[in-house]
């Protein structure tokens, strides 16, 4: 004769449960939650940094424009010096030539940077 426990166990569905698969699924969910949390944090930090940067952009553009004006003034005066040196037949000091070329290069760079900065819409 069967005991009560055996009778009850026979009536219960006989199901096998794969615990290792459940552990893997739970591990993936934990990994997902962790990665998702990190993505939210880094996105939030980036957004804050970007907002700070965008607030500073107009002042940066203004400073770049001022620097461009200064470089253009150096070039303008440098051209006058070149012209006068040529008229009187003297060689331009190498340091002056170097400074004029540097101002011309920097002026081009500043112009390019300003155009790119102005193209940012916010």
Output the 3-class SS for the chain: CCCHHHHHHHHCCCCCCCHHHHHHHHHHHHHHHHHHHHHHHHHHHHHHHHHHHHHHHHHHHHHHHHHHHHHHHHHHHHHHHHHHHHHHCCCCCHHHHHHHHHHHHHHHHHHHHHHHHHCCCC
Give me the pLDDT at residue 43, please: 74
* Per-residue pLDDT at 13: 63
Residue 96 pLDDT > 70: yes
pTM above 0.75, yes or no: no
Q: What is the pLDDT of residue 9?
A: 62
Q: Examine the pLDDT at 27 and tell me if it is beyond 80.
A: no
């Amino acid at each position: 004769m069967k005991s009560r426990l055996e009778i009850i166990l026979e009536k219960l569905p006989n199901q096998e449960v794969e615990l290792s698969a459940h552990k893997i699924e739970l591990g993936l969910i934990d990994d997902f939650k962790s990665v998702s949390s990190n993505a939210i944090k880094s996105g939030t930090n980036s957004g804050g940094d970007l907002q700070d940067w965008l607030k500073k952009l107009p002042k940066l553009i203004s400073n770049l424009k001022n620097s461009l004006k200064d470089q253009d003034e150096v070039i303008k005066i440098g051209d006058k010096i070149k012209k006068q040196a040529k008229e009187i037949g003297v060689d331009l000091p190498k340091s002056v030539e170097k400074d004029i070329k540097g101002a011309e290069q920097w002026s081009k760079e500043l112009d390019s940077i300003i155009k790119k900065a102005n193209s940012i819409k916010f």
